[in-house]
A = this chain, B = another copy of it.
Amino acid sequence: MSTTLTFAKALNTALADEMEADPTVVVFGEDVGTLGGVFRITDGLTKRFGEERCFDTPLAESGIMGMAVGMAMNGLRPVVEMQFDAFAYPAFEQVVSHVAKMPNRTRGKVKLPLVIRIPYAGGIGGVEHHCDSSESYYAHTPGLTVVSPATVPDAYTMLREAIRHPDPVVFLEPKKLYWSKEDLELEALRSSANSFGRAVVAREGTDATLITYGPSVSTALNAAAAAAEEGRSLEVIDVRSIVPFDDATVMASVRKTGRAVVIAEAPGFASVASEIVARVQERCFHSLAAPVLRVTGFDIPYPAPKLEHFHLPSVDRILDAVDELQWEDA
């Protein structure tokens, strides 16, 4: 039976389903209890599971993260919410020096099955500190698994998978997708979790590959649709799992098309986009007809609401980059 859900509701359902399935799952953070989170992702969980299973903490992100480490050490599966991307930075030491390293440090004796949910990226007209694309900080940190869903079904399955994962997962939720809706078959999805380390071909094409993730997937799909009208067939890869990265799927596509553009909202310098470009040229050098190009945010602090549209990867900017891929006919 198919239902229509928003991205936000899919996440909420995933949390509820995992809490139902596993009594060791606990959810906490700022305003996640009575309020149900500023984006309502935890709506109703306190009511349904009690305030021992879903609760508010004092306002301190390092505290939230450090407490999660201890709870995971002692048999629970914490799912914590960082209210916004830039408000996860106070927890950076806990994330980098403990969350990412504790299992390695103890030769796997201590596992940390915890999930750090971060509403991230822009496109919602948010004021400063509410729109950072912070994935590169986490992706660069060995020991973290870093994923970002771009569709409603993936929001559901990937969050369930993240909670069941034996290692700490940074779960990046593109804010601008929260209100997007899709039809989905929840029952079918319940058993289909298998996305970590697996990119998907979001649209097939033959002329060039757009490689992207999270908030930029829909933009890339729109660009591909527009390109199709002009007779150019673009393949779109939704990376989904940034770490581990699915080299096989990405490289297969680029070997097929011979051209690639990497798209991400974050500033481009020393970013996940840089990594994808580097990997592609390392692995597909002789298949490439043109350099791998990037369409990313500029190397600037996230702009104020009225300026953000100049900054974000847009359909036009993607099509421009595709045009630059040294087509013989040009």
Chain A contact residues, CB within 8 Å of chain B: 62, 86, 89-90, 92-93, 96-97, 100-101, 104-105, 128-129, 136-137, 139-143, 243, 245, 266-275, 277-278, 281-283, 285, 288, 290-294, 298-301
Contacts and interface: CB of A to CB of B under 8 A. Distances in A.
B142 A269 contact: yes
B93 A90 contact: yes
A144 B140 CA distance: 18
Given A97-B129, A275-B274, A291 B285 contact: yes
Nearest to A92: B92
A137 B96 CA distance: 11
Contacts of A282: 277, 291-294
Contacts of A294: 278, 282
Nearest to A286: B291
Contacts of A62: 90
A243 B269 contact: yes
A274 B281 contact: no
Nearest to A298: B142
A301 B34 CA distance: 38
Nearest to A132: B96
Given A89-B97, A142-B301, A285-B288, 11 more contacts: A62-B90, A89-B96, A92-B93, A136-B140, A136-B270, A137-B137, A140-B266, A274-B275, A274-B278, A281-B281, A281-B291
Contacts of A275: 268-271, 274
Contact of A93 (B89, B143, B245, B268): B89
